[in-house]
A and B are shown apart, each in its own frame.
Chain A
Amino acid sequence: MPETVPANAGYMVAAYTAAALILVGYAVLLYRRTRKL
Protein backbone atom coordinates (compact mmCIF):
# COMPACT_ATOMS: atom_id res chain seq x y z
CA MET A 1 0.00 0.00 0.00
CA PRO A 2 1.47 3.44 -0.91
CA GLU A 3 2.46 5.70 1.97
CA THR A 4 1.12 8.78 0.20
CA VAL A 5 -1.47 9.25 -2.50
CA PRO A 6 0.19 10.29 -5.81
CA ALA A 7 -0.01 14.02 -6.50
CA ASN A 8 -1.32 14.06 -10.05
CA ALA A 9 -4.42 16.26 -9.84
CA GLY A 10 -3.17 18.34 -12.79
CA TYR A 11 -3.82 15.42 -15.15
CA MET A 12 -7.33 15.07 -13.76
CA VAL A 13 -8.05 18.77 -14.30
CA ALA A 14 -6.62 18.61 -17.83
CA ALA A 15 -8.77 15.61 -18.77
CA TYR A 16 -11.98 17.06 -17.34
CA THR A 17 -11.29 20.37 -19.09
CA ALA A 18 -10.62 18.67 -22.43
CA ALA A 19 -13.81 16.58 -22.16
CA ALA A 20 -15.91 19.65 -21.29
CA LEU A 21 -14.41 21.68 -24.15
CA ILE A 22 -15.14 18.95 -26.69
CA LEU A 23 -18.70 18.25 -25.51
CA VAL A 24 -19.74 21.88 -24.97
CA GLY A 25 -17.95 22.86 -28.19
CA TYR A 26 -19.88 20.26 -30.15
CA ALA A 27 -23.17 21.38 -28.55
CA VAL A 28 -22.45 25.00 -29.57
CA LEU A 29 -21.46 23.88 -33.09
CA LEU A 30 -24.73 21.97 -33.49
CA TYR A 31 -26.75 24.91 -32.18
CA ARG A 32 -25.09 27.36 -34.57
CA ARG A 33 -25.49 25.06 -37.57
CA THR A 34 -29.18 24.50 -36.94
CA ARG A 35 -29.81 28.21 -36.35
CA LYS A 36 -28.37 29.02 -39.79
CA LEU A 37 -31.04 26.92 -41.56
Chain B
Amino acid sequence: MRMLRVGRWITGIGLVLLAAVYVRALAFTPVERFQGPAQKIFYVHVPAAWCAMLAMGLVGVAGILYLLLKDPRFDRFGEASAEVGTAFSMVMLTTGPIWAKPIWGTWWTWDARLTLTLFLFLLFIGYLVLRGAVTEPGLRARYSAVLGICGLGLLPFIHLSVYLFRTLHPQPIVLKPSAPSLPGPMLVTLLMSFGVFTLLYVGFVVQRYAFSYLREQLEAAGGDVGHA
Protein backbone atom coordinates (compact mmCIF):
# COMPACT_ATOMS: atom_id res chain seq x y z
CA MET B 1 0.00 0.00 0.00
CA ARG B 2 1.39 3.38 -1.04
CA MET B 3 0.38 5.21 2.15
CA LEU B 4 2.26 2.70 4.29
CA ARG B 5 5.43 3.11 2.22
CA VAL B 6 5.15 6.90 2.42
CA GLY B 7 4.72 6.69 6.19
CA ARG B 8 7.79 4.48 6.51
CA TRP B 9 9.87 6.87 4.42
CA ILE B 10 8.77 9.90 6.43
CA THR B 11 9.52 8.05 9.68
CA GLY B 12 12.92 6.92 8.40
CA ILE B 13 13.86 10.45 7.36
CA GLY B 14 12.53 11.74 10.69
CA LEU B 15 14.73 9.32 12.65
CA VAL B 16 17.83 10.30 10.67
CA LEU B 17 17.06 13.98 11.27
CA LEU B 18 16.45 13.21 14.94
CA ALA B 19 20.01 11.90 15.12
CA ALA B 20 21.16 15.18 13.53
CA VAL B 21 19.21 17.16 16.14
CA TYR B 22 20.86 15.09 18.88
CA VAL B 23 24.32 15.89 17.48
CA ARG B 24 23.51 19.60 17.17
CA ALA B 25 21.92 19.80 20.63
CA LEU B 26 24.62 17.85 22.45
CA ALA B 27 27.75 19.01 20.62
CA PHE B 28 27.05 22.35 18.95
CA THR B 29 24.58 24.16 21.21
CA PRO B 30 25.96 26.19 24.13
CA VAL B 31 25.55 24.95 27.70
CA GLU B 32 23.28 27.17 29.81
CA ARG B 33 25.46 28.40 32.71
CA PHE B 34 22.86 28.26 35.51
CA GLN B 35 21.31 24.84 34.78
CA GLY B 36 24.31 23.17 33.15
CA PRO B 37 24.03 20.32 30.60
CA ALA B 38 20.66 19.20 32.03
CA GLN B 39 19.09 22.26 30.39
CA LYS B 40 19.63 20.53 27.02
CA ILE B 41 16.81 18.14 27.93
CA PHE B 42 14.70 21.12 26.89
CA TYR B 43 15.36 20.28 23.20
CA VAL B 44 13.56 16.94 23.44
CA HIS B 45 11.10 17.65 26.25
CA VAL B 46 9.41 20.72 24.74
CA PRO B 47 8.97 19.32 21.19
CA ALA B 48 7.63 16.06 22.66
CA ALA B 49 5.09 18.07 24.69
CA TRP B 50 4.18 20.02 21.54
CA CYS B 51 3.57 16.77 19.61
CA ALA B 52 1.51 15.27 22.44
CA MET B 53 -0.69 18.37 22.49
CA LEU B 54 -0.86 18.50 18.68
CA ALA B 55 -1.91 14.83 18.68
CA MET B 56 -4.68 15.37 21.21
CA GLY B 57 -5.83 18.53 19.43
CA LEU B 58 -6.16 16.63 16.17
CA VAL B 59 -7.91 13.71 17.90
CA GLY B 60 -10.47 16.27 19.10
CA VAL B 61 -10.84 17.91 15.68
CA ALA B 62 -11.21 14.47 14.06
CA GLY B 63 -13.86 13.65 16.68
CA ILE B 64 -15.86 16.77 15.83
CA LEU B 65 -15.61 16.03 12.11
CA TYR B 66 -16.64 12.42 12.67
CA LEU B 67 -19.73 13.43 14.64
CA LEU B 68 -20.67 15.93 11.95
CA LEU B 69 -19.89 13.87 8.83
CA LYS B 70 -19.92 10.23 10.06
CA ASP B 71 -16.89 9.59 7.84
CA PRO B 72 -14.89 6.60 9.20
CA ARG B 73 -11.62 8.16 7.97
CA PHE B 74 -11.83 10.69 10.80
CA ASP B 75 -12.32 7.91 13.34
CA ARG B 76 -9.33 6.07 11.89
CA PHE B 77 -7.25 9.23 12.03
CA GLY B 78 -8.28 9.86 15.65
CA GLU B 79 -7.18 6.36 16.62
CA ALA B 80 -3.83 6.82 14.85
CA SER B 81 -3.19 10.24 16.36
CA ALA B 82 -4.10 9.05 19.88
CA GLU B 83 -1.66 6.15 19.77
CA VAL B 84 1.15 8.33 18.43
CA GLY B 85 0.29 10.99 21.01
CA THR B 86 0.71 8.37 23.73
CA ALA B 87 4.28 7.74 22.57
CA PHE B 88 5.12 11.47 22.61
CA SER B 89 3.44 11.84 26.02
CA MET B 90 5.71 9.12 27.31
CA VAL B 91 8.74 11.06 26.05
CA MET B 92 7.40 14.22 27.72
CA LEU B 93 6.68 12.46 31.01
CA THR B 94 10.05 10.71 31.20
CA THR B 95 12.29 13.59 30.12
CA GLY B 96 10.42 16.11 32.30
CA PRO B 97 11.15 14.44 35.67
CA ILE B 98 14.75 13.69 34.60
CA TRP B 99 15.17 17.43 33.96
CA ALA B 100 13.30 18.38 37.14
CA LYS B 101 15.48 16.35 39.51
CA PRO B 102 18.74 18.33 39.14
CA ILE B 103 16.97 21.70 38.73
CA TRP B 104 14.06 21.57 41.21
CA GLY B 105 15.52 18.88 43.49
CA THR B 106 12.54 16.58 42.97
CA TRP B 107 11.40 14.20 40.25
CA TRP B 108 7.78 15.23 40.46
CA THR B 109 5.48 17.72 42.11
CA TRP B 110 1.70 17.80 41.96
CA ASP B 111 1.40 21.31 40.58
CA ALA B 112 -1.12 22.32 37.93
CA ARG B 113 1.03 21.94 34.79
CA LEU B 114 2.52 18.58 35.69
CA THR B 115 -0.77 17.14 36.92
CA LEU B 116 -2.61 18.28 33.78
CA THR B 117 0.03 16.77 31.48
CA LEU B 118 -0.24 13.49 33.40
CA PHE B 119 -4.00 13.76 32.91
CA LEU B 120 -3.39 14.22 29.16
CA PHE B 121 -1.38 10.99 29.11
CA LEU B 122 -4.12 9.17 31.02
CA LEU B 123 -6.69 10.52 28.55
CA PHE B 124 -4.69 9.00 25.69
CA ILE B 125 -4.58 5.68 27.54
CA GLY B 126 -8.30 5.91 28.33
CA TYR B 127 -9.04 6.63 24.68
CA LEU B 128 -7.14 3.55 23.54
CA VAL B 129 -8.65 1.34 26.27
CA LEU B 130 -12.12 2.57 25.30
CA ARG B 131 -11.49 1.63 21.68
CA GLY B 132 -10.36 -1.82 22.73
CA ALA B 133 -13.41 -2.33 24.95
CA VAL B 134 -16.20 -1.34 22.53
CA THR B 135 -16.54 -3.80 19.66
CA GLU B 136 -19.38 -2.22 17.67
CA PRO B 137 -17.59 0.12 15.21
CA GLY B 138 -20.21 2.91 15.10
CA LEU B 139 -20.55 3.07 18.88
CA ARG B 140 -16.78 2.89 19.32
CA ALA B 141 -16.26 5.78 16.93
CA ARG B 142 -18.93 7.92 18.65
CA TYR B 143 -17.63 7.32 22.18
CA SER B 144 -14.05 7.90 21.02
CA ALA B 145 -15.04 11.14 19.29
CA VAL B 146 -16.61 12.48 22.50
CA LEU B 147 -13.55 11.56 24.57
CA GLY B 148 -11.28 13.17 21.96
CA ILE B 149 -13.30 16.39 22.12
CA CYS B 150 -12.90 16.36 25.94
CA GLY B 151 -9.15 16.05 25.39
CA LEU B 152 -9.21 19.00 23.01
CA GLY B 153 -10.94 21.03 25.74
CA LEU B 154 -8.10 20.19 28.13
CA LEU B 155 -5.37 21.72 25.96
CA PRO B 156 -5.96 25.45 26.71
CA PHE B 157 -5.85 24.67 30.44
CA ILE B 158 -2.51 22.90 30.04
CA HIS B 159 -1.02 25.81 28.08
CA LEU B 160 -2.40 28.50 30.41
CA SER B 161 -1.83 26.59 33.66
CA VAL B 162 1.55 28.28 34.20
CA TYR B 163 -0.20 31.68 34.13
CA LEU B 164 -3.33 30.67 36.08
CA PHE B 165 -1.67 28.79 38.96
CA ARG B 166 1.46 29.00 41.07
CA THR B 167 3.75 26.38 39.59
CA LEU B 168 7.39 25.34 39.51
CA HIS B 169 7.14 24.80 35.75
CA PRO B 170 8.66 27.65 33.70
CA GLN B 171 6.45 29.83 31.52
CA PRO B 172 6.54 29.42 27.71
CA ILE B 173 9.59 30.97 26.07
CA VAL B 174 8.57 30.40 22.45
CA LEU B 175 4.77 30.00 22.26
CA LYS B 176 3.96 33.37 23.83
CA PRO B 177 2.73 36.74 22.54
CA SER B 178 6.17 38.41 22.67
CA ALA B 179 9.34 37.33 20.85
CA PRO B 180 11.06 34.07 21.94
CA SER B 181 13.44 34.68 24.86
CA LEU B 182 16.26 32.36 23.80
CA PRO B 183 19.73 33.09 22.39
CA GLY B 184 20.01 32.46 18.65
CA PRO B 185 21.87 29.08 18.61
CA MET B 186 19.52 27.64 21.24
CA LEU B 187 16.46 28.88 19.36
CA VAL B 188 17.71 27.32 16.09
CA THR B 189 18.24 23.97 17.81
CA LEU B 190 14.81 24.13 19.41
CA LEU B 191 13.10 25.02 16.12
CA MET B 192 14.95 22.20 14.33
CA SER B 193 13.79 19.81 17.02
CA PHE B 194 10.21 21.07 16.72
CA GLY B 195 10.36 20.39 12.96
CA VAL B 196 11.83 16.91 13.32
CA PHE B 197 9.43 15.84 16.07
CA THR B 198 6.50 17.09 13.98
CA LEU B 199 7.83 15.16 10.97
CA LEU B 200 8.05 12.03 13.13
CA TYR B 201 4.49 12.63 14.29
CA VAL B 202 3.35 12.78 10.65
CA GLY B 203 5.31 9.64 9.70
CA PHE B 204 3.96 7.67 12.65
CA VAL B 205 0.36 8.77 12.05
CA VAL B 206 0.49 7.96 8.33
CA GLN B 207 1.81 4.47 9.13
CA ARG B 208 -0.68 3.91 11.93
CA TYR B 209 -3.56 5.11 9.76
CA ALA B 210 -2.50 2.76 6.96
CA PHE B 211 -2.27 -0.09 9.48
CA SER B 212 -5.88 0.50 10.62
CA TYR B 213 -7.09 0.74 7.05
CA LEU B 214 -5.37 -2.48 5.99
CA ARG B 215 -6.62 -4.29 9.08
CA GLU B 216 -10.20 -3.21 8.33
CA GLN B 217 -9.85 -4.40 4.74
CA LEU B 218 -8.58 -7.79 5.90
CA GLU B 219 -11.37 -8.09 8.46
CA ALA B 220 -13.95 -7.20 5.82
CA ALA B 221 -12.46 -9.90 3.59
CA GLY B 222 -12.86 -12.43 6.42
CA GLY B 223 -9.22 -12.62 7.51
CA ASP B 224 -8.27 -13.27 11.14
CA VAL B 225 -6.51 -10.12 12.30
CA GLY B 226 -5.52 -9.37 15.89
CA HIS B 227 -6.29 -5.93 17.36
CA ALA B 228 -2.67 -5.18 18.29
Report the separation of the CA atoms of residues A30 and B207 in the bound assembly, to the nearest whole angstrom: 7
Closest chain A CB from B122 CB (angstroms)? 17
B6 within 8 A of A: no
Are A37 and B211 in contact, with the CB atoms below 8 A? yes
Are A19 and B94 in contact, with the CB atoms below 8 A? yes
**Contact flag A19-B48 (CB < 8 Å), given A8-B102, A27-B204, A34-B214:** yes
B67 within 8 A of A: no
Are B207 and A16 in contact, with the CB atoms below 8 A? no
Partner of A15, one of B11, B15, B41: B41
- CB within 8 Å of B: which A1-37 residues: 1-2, 5-9, 11-12, 14-16, 18-20, 22-24, 26-27, 30-31, 33-34, 36-37
Are A12 and B94 in contact, with the CB atoms below 8 A? no
Closest chain B CB from A23 CB (angstroms)? 6
- The interface residues of chain B lying within 8 Å CB-to-CB of A26 are 84, 87, 204
B215 within 8 A of A: yes
Are B98 and A33 in contact, with the CB atoms below 8 A? no
Listed in ascending order, the chain B residues whose CB lies under 8 Å from chain A are 4, 8, 11, 15, 18, 22, 25-26, 31, 33-38, 40-41, 44-45, 48, 84, 87, 90-91, 94-95, 98-99, 101-102, 200, 204, 207-208, 210-211, 214-215, 218, 225, 228
